[in-house]
């Protein structure tokens, strides 16, 4: 590791030290210390849960190295940020662990929202970027302390994405008249299906075994929905489904569930969700395009939000939103609150211009008696010759900047430098 500690001293007596752990040290910290920091941080999302990170750690490529930035104050660790380093396009890339699958990247710990901690972590990321790593920080909430500090730093290309959060319970009475009519029209369609003898069933997984068993159904709908589109880089990737199943097995029913809506035993919509406390997060929504006219995604979302409201949940996060008029209108129909996340990618550091080096030949003859012109290797002779030049002459080795020094030996070396520069 090129850096071990980065100290940031701010106003007052606040001193935060950042340790960068890697390999086994990072894995040990994630297993032993991370769960406590996660429990102490009320703002952390399920994307920072120990189970979620452990699942994606097991899916890392053999060339990847886990990293953990640990922010310490005088009492010990107050926050940590889980990262991974891997090769990307011939350059080492540092990105958050579980990215791009996680839709929110945050530091975890009781001090994660303190100004000094956010500044220290952002400064440590900047040091990695200056030393040659391509630092990619996607999906950092702009209202988080880390997000504000990364957004304020130069040397990054910044972009933002919108995220929609539905407050629960959904207040349909606060919607516009046209929106209420649209919701009622869709619901009448599903009531008519049930009245016509079709069996409409809404389910939500309750156990880990049920969660793992339902995932293949969701995956089939997901790939069918996005056939011919590329909303995510993982679509169609070999082994992606096995990775997700392994991660969900790690998460278990205490962190994840899948909600489904079926018509006559045929699942027409499904949604993978993560949850923590009273907040729920949509991870992978899917629907059968053959039933598009029935708007199965709306029907499932309405039933899911109603159930979550009855269980005391206060929000349902729909995650990133593609800048598409249809997607924005779809989520706006539920009185969603719009938030933003930041993606920062470090720029390639520019190399400093090189100063033209001079090739200084050996100076022999009557001006340097005693054979003392033989100074050893060519590099040593060049270094010794340039050391005798005035500072301006070393930067601009032209005759107008050369001030001849006292002594025959120095005059001979200066003349040799001028001769070498003119010959080049």
Question: Is residue 157 domain-shared with residue 211, that is, in the same domain?
Answer: no
Query: What range does the domain containing 19 cover?
Result: 5-161
Mean pLDDT score, 162-178: 95
Q: For the stretch 210-229, what's the b/e string if a residue is b when 16 or more beta carbons lie within 10 angstroms of its beta carbon?
A: ebbebbeebbebbeebeeee
pLDDT at 202: 97
Q: Are residues 289 and 402 in the same domain?
A: no
Short-list 26, 111, 110, CA closest to 65: 26
Question: Smallest Cα–Cα separation from 226: which of 286, 273, 281, 268?
Answer: 286
Could you tell me if residue 329 is inside a domain?
no
- Number of structural domains, the chain? 3
CA 263-269-274 angle, 5° bins: 135
% of residues, the chain, pLDDT over 90: 68
Same domain assignment for residues 306 and 237: yes
208-236 tens-digit pLDDT: 999 999 999 999 999 888 877 655 444 44
> What tokens were used for 54?
């452990």
Q: What is the DSSP string of 53-76?
A: HHHHHTT--TT-EEEEEEEEETTE
Distance from the Cα of residue 19 to its chain's centroid = 19
User: Is the domain of 290 the same as that of 379?
Assistant: no
Q: Token pair of 315, please?
A: 């929000």
Average pLDDT of the chain, as a whole number: 83
**179-198 pLDDT tens trace:** 999 999 999 999 999 999 99
Q: Are residues 195 and 294 in the same domain?
A: yes
> Which pLDDT does position 355 carry in this prediction?
45
- For residues 292 and 404, state if they share a domain: no
Question: Are 56 and 80 in a shared domain?
Answer: yes
CATH of the domain at 295: 3.40.630
pLDDT digits (tens, 9 = 90+) for 66-120: 999 999 998 999 999 999 999 876 779 999 999 999 999 999 999 999 999 999 9
Q: Do residues 213 and 290 share a domain?
A: yes
Question: What's the pTM?
Answer: 0.79
The pLDDT tens digits for 244-297 are 999 999 999 999 999 999 999 999 999 999 999 999 999 999 999 999 999 999
């Amino acid at each position: 590791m090129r850096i071990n500690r980065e100290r940031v001293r701010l106003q007052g007596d606040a001193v935060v030290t950042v340790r960068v752990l890697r390999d086994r040290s990072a894995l040990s910290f994630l297993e032993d210390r991370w769960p406590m920091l996660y429990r102490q941080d009320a703002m952390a999302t399920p994307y920072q849960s120990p189970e979620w990170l452990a699942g994606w750690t097991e899916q890392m490529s053999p060339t990847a190295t886990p990293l953990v930035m640990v922010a310490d104050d005088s009492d010990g660790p107050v926050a940590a940020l889980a990262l991974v380093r891997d090769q990307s396009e011939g350059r080492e890339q540092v990105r958050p662990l579980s990215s791009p699958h996680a839709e929110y990247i945050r530091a975890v710990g009781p001090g994660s929202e303190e100004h000094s901690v956010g500044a220290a972590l952002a400064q440590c990321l900047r040091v990695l970027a200056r030393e040659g790593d391509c630092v990619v920080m996607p999906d950092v909430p702009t209202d988080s302390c880390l997000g504000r500090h990364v957004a304020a730093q130069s040397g990054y290309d910044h972009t933002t994405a919108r995220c929609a959060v539905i407050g629960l319970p959904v207040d349909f009475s606060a919607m516009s008249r046209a929106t209420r009519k649209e919701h009622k029209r869709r619901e009448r369609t599903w009531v008519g299906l049930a009245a016509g003898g079709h069996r409409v069933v809404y389910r939500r997984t309750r156990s880990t075994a049920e969660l793992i068993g339902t995932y293949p159904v969701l995956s089939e709908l997901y790939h069918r929905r996005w056939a011919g589109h590329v909303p995510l880089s993982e679509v169609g990737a070999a082994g992606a489904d096995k990775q997700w199943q392994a991660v969900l097995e790690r998460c278990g029913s205490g962190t994840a569930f899948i909600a489904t809506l079926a018509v006559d035993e045929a699942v027409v919509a499904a949604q993978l969700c993560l949850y923590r406390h009273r907040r729920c997060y949509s991870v992978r929504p899917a629907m059968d395009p053959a039933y598009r006219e029935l708007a199965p995604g709306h029907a499932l979302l309405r039933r899911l939000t109603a159930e979550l409201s009855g269980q005391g949940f206060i929000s349902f996060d729909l995650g990133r939103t593609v800048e598409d008029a249809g997607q924005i209108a779809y989520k706006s129909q539920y009185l969603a609150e719009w938030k933003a996340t930041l993606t920062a990618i470090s720029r390639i550091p520019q190399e400093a211009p090189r100063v033209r080096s001079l090739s200084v030949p050996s100076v022999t003859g009557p001006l340097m008696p005693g054979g003392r012109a033989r100074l050893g290797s060519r590099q040593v002779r060049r270094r010794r010759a340039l050391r005798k030049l005035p500072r301006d002459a070393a930067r601009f080795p032209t005759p107008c900047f050369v001030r001849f020094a006292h002594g025959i030996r120095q005059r001979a070396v200066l003349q040799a430098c001028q001769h070498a520069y003119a010959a080049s």
